Amino acid sequence: RKEVEQDPGPFNVPEGATVAFNCTYSNSASQSFFWYRQDCRKEPKLLMSVYSSGNEDGRFTAQLNRASQYISLLIRDSKLSDSATYLCVVEPSNDYKLSFGAGTTVTVRA
């Protein structure tokens, strides 16, 4: 079983729509969780860290469900510029190593 699993998508949504997707992780002792976005042929960029209580940054909302071992990302009022691959990233233990999901591709169309 992979440490981090994501629905690869693609999610094709119209501008203004809401899109949400999850990722699951296998190590129940994981402490740190992140969403990164990666544009084609670019580096991953931190979108947001995910806190136990859930957190929101503008149109983006992240949730953590420790009991079911998943994190989610919701994007409201999608913009064309939100088109990207979203990487779910988990730090299974405090040892510098991150586990990356394979990424969820989101395409926002006009």
Partner 1 sequence: DTEVTQTPKHLVMGMTNKKSLKCEQHMGHRAMYWYKQKAKKPPELMFVYSYEKLSINESVPSRFSPECPNSSLLNLHLHALQPEDSALYLCASSPRTLGLAGDASTDTQYFGPGTRLTVL
CB-based burial label for 17 (10 Å; 0-12, 13-18, 19+): middle
Residue 43 as a binder of partner 1 (CB under 8 A): the answer is yes
**74 to 103, contacts with partner 1 by CB under 8 A?**
87, 91, 94-98, 100-103
Strands 60-65 and 70-75: antiparallel
Interface with partner 1, residue 51, by CB under 8 A: yes
With CB under 8 A as the rule, give the number of residues binding partner 1.
25
Does residue number 41 form part of the binding site for partner 1 (CB under 8 A)? yes
Q: Does 31 engage in binding with partner 1 (CB under 8 A)? A: yes
Which of 18/52 has CB closer to partner 1? 52
CA separation for the pair 104, 5 (Å, rounded)? 10
